[in-house]
Chains A and B, each alone.
Chain A
């Protein structure tokens, strides 16, 4: 039986177990929307295509499944580009379907034509223009396969209108044939042995874990290995949640894991950065030595031999030359190391590690994460601490970008993977709200909170109505400092306090704005009001926008000035 391209499209999504599409219609995809009601698939109508892309991304990061969005040609397609680049930088599995003008018109500057395959070539893992309906099922199959395997990433599929309208026999390919794509999953046994040898002999080991631990679901393996070695663990922003920062004690209270160092890098903890600078073996797992992590590259971990596991060979020895490269899946590699650790456990590991852990403890005591509690207005760090107190391990935190993001990373302690969704690589303001909506769509019963800035939230505020009308009760906590705070902080520290274009004293009334959207708006102007506002927000089954008037001049500390060694921290 012949099927149309539109029918094939939905058949394929069914085979890929897609439960929700984030989308926005237009002329080029109207045939797909015409077909949609006949299929058992949820569609969330966004208000801006950037929102659709971030929602698909948030859905993907929260679930580990492939996020899907669907937009029209031309402006619909270009509006997704920031979302695609965001997902690309953070290796998020996503498939973006864009409409395209009919094949006969391609290249003619037709109405709403844009070369989206050309535009997104550098920010997708791969992309396709489907020119023949007979290729459609194969391409969709490949797109999902590429998005989720190896180093995950976004894949774009451009669908000309006539291809969607044309008919052919439907057959969903059983396997993909991509001769040029063979990601290495199993690590090289010899390299694993060499790594073990180094780890076994290390006196001052540090594990430095990144987003790869989360995308390969290797958090348990990581924790087991760290405990077997009694090796302290730091993570990147993307790796937060990949190691349990907090564990429950006998009384059910959460306390910091004894091996947890906190995040490292530009706004890392004192102890994490000092540990990295003084370790003798640095074990990098699914991390990529980003400049926000390493600071001055030549001065990074100067005393350490470095082991690096990554599924993407291009990440290895790209910025830092490593001693033991291991190409492969983090989980597979950590499993192998755990097997060895089980067979030949370290003798007296507690005694062996005591001096190093004691040193780290001292660093933590000398310069704990801290902020000045006095001063005017609400302390933004306090808001995050309170959110942490009221939340539990299942709560999903998203962030915008700037100081809000860093305070969330520092003062909220993530116990589980996929509970922090944040734009790490691209640093996309406007990410947090749509990502929260995407996560809430996946987990309607979990608490999802966007820790936001007054600047960033306005970049995708239109999606509040998407949350309201789809009954997705996300909570947004705006740390309203009336500034583009992070840029202001740089101006204060490095640009002669020339606060050009960073003051936002003309923001909307966020409470009334929330109400205009049909959400709940709440405001706190003093420290005492913080907790009641949070409690009230958590008690309503609706989207809530909380406007916390925080002290405008607060800075994020520690801070390593760009280009300095990460031990050269500015402290409070």
Chain B
């Protein structure tokens, strides 16, 4: 949980849903219809047939978060809502960053890529496309450094999150 200056607590929620048409718009419609924020949302199938996992990042005070979780649970196609507030969890996001890489800056870009354990996934005479995975902090940090060199485009996936396995 992190503080968002404008909207209070930022919060990650996992939602296991039945893989039915329209399920994503039910979830999205719930947020827009009730005035809840969505900062990011990812969705993809899981290992269980017929189930998808949505990971969404929202913000609001505890009262609003309670409502969001209850309202999500109320959707018929939602099987389970994972409230990460009182669980240890890991979250990751991937970003593709197209950065200007001219003669003078190529080495600098590669050094940054190396430090962040990122990867160059596409190279052209004037640009590198970089793939980086990590938490918020890491992605924001590399974006800031590369920004000084010249970012052309960014595509971020939004967060995916899972609870940590229980330690013995």
- Nearest CB of chain B from residue A461's CB, rounded to whole Å: 32
Within 8 A of B (CB), among A99-128: 117-118, 121-122, 125-126
A181 touching B66, Cβ below 8 Å = no
Q: Contacts A117-B22, A121-B22, A121-B26; is A314 near B79 (CB within 8 Å)?
A: no
B70 touching A122, Cβ below 8 Å = no
Q: Contacts A121-B22, A121-B29; is A180 near B76 (CB within 8 Å)?
A: yes
Confirm or deny: A375 has a beta carbon within 8 angstroms of a beta carbon on chain B: no
* Residues of A contacting B70 in the complex (Cβ-Cβ under 8 angstroms): 313-314
- The closest CB in chain B to the CB of A316 belongs to B70
Picked from A121, A126, A179, the residue with its CB within 8 Å of the CB of B79 is A179
* Residues of A contacting B80 in the complex (Cβ-Cβ under 8 angstroms): 180
- The closest CB in chain B to the CB of A117 belongs to B22
A180 touching B33, Cβ below 8 Å = no
Q: Interface digits, A154-188 against B, CB 8 Å rule (1 contact, 0 not)?
A: 00000000000000000000000011110000000
B21 touching A129, Cβ below 8 Å = yes
A374 to B21, CA, bound (A): 63
A317 touching B66, Cβ below 8 Å = yes
A29 to B57, CA, bound (A): 43
Within 8 A of B (CB), among A65-124: 117-118, 121-122
Interface size on A, residues (CB 8 A): 18
Q: Contacts A118-B25, A122-B33, A129-B21; is A314 near B76 (CB within 8 Å)?
A: no
Within 8 A of A (CB), among B45-103: 63, 66-67, 70-71, 73-80
Q: How many A-B residue pairs have CB under 8 A?
A: 38
Confirm or deny: B18 has a beta carbon within 8 angstroms of a beta carbon on chain A: yes
- Nearest CB of chain A from residue B156's CB, rounded to whole Å: 28
A180 touching B25, Cβ below 8 Å = no
* Residues of A contacting B25 in the complex (Cβ-Cβ under 8 angstroms): 118, 121
Within 8 A of B (CB), among A264-313: 312-313
* Residues of B contacting A321 in the complex (Cβ-Cβ under 8 angstroms): 63
A313 touching B73, Cβ below 8 Å = yes
Picked from A129, A179, A180, A312, the residue with its CB within 8 Å of the CB of B75 is A180
- The closest CB in chain B to the CB of A131 belongs to B21
A125 to B63, CA, bound (A): 23
A180 to B73, CA, bound (A): 8
Q: Contacts A117-B22, A121-B29; is A180 near B78 (CB within 8 Å)?
A: yes
A489 to B40, CA, bound (A): 46
A146 to B22, CA, bound (A): 18
A181 touching B76, Cβ below 8 Å = yes
* Residues of B contacting A181 in the complex (Cβ-Cβ under 8 angstroms): 76
A122 to B29, CA, bound (A): 7
Q: Contacts A122-B29, A179-B79, A180-B79; is A314 near B22 (CB within 8 Å)?
A: no
Instruction: List 29 A-B residue pairs with CB atoms under 8 Å apart, sorted by A's residue number.
Output: A117-B22, A118-B22, A118-B25, A121-B22, A121-B25, A121-B26, A121-B29, A122-B33, A129-B21, A129-B22, A146-B76, A178-B76, A179-B79, A180-B17, A180-B18, A180-B75, A180-B77, A180-B79, A180-B80, A181-B76, A312-B74, A313-B73, A313-B74, A314-B67, A314-B71, A314-B74, A317-B63, A317-B66, A318-B67
With A117-B22, A312-B74 known, 8 other A-B pairs at CB within 8 A are A118-B22, A121-B25, A122-B33, A129-B22, A314-B67, A314-B74, A317-B63, A317-B66
Nearest 4 interchain pairs by C-beta: A314-B70, A126-B76, A180-B79, A313-B70
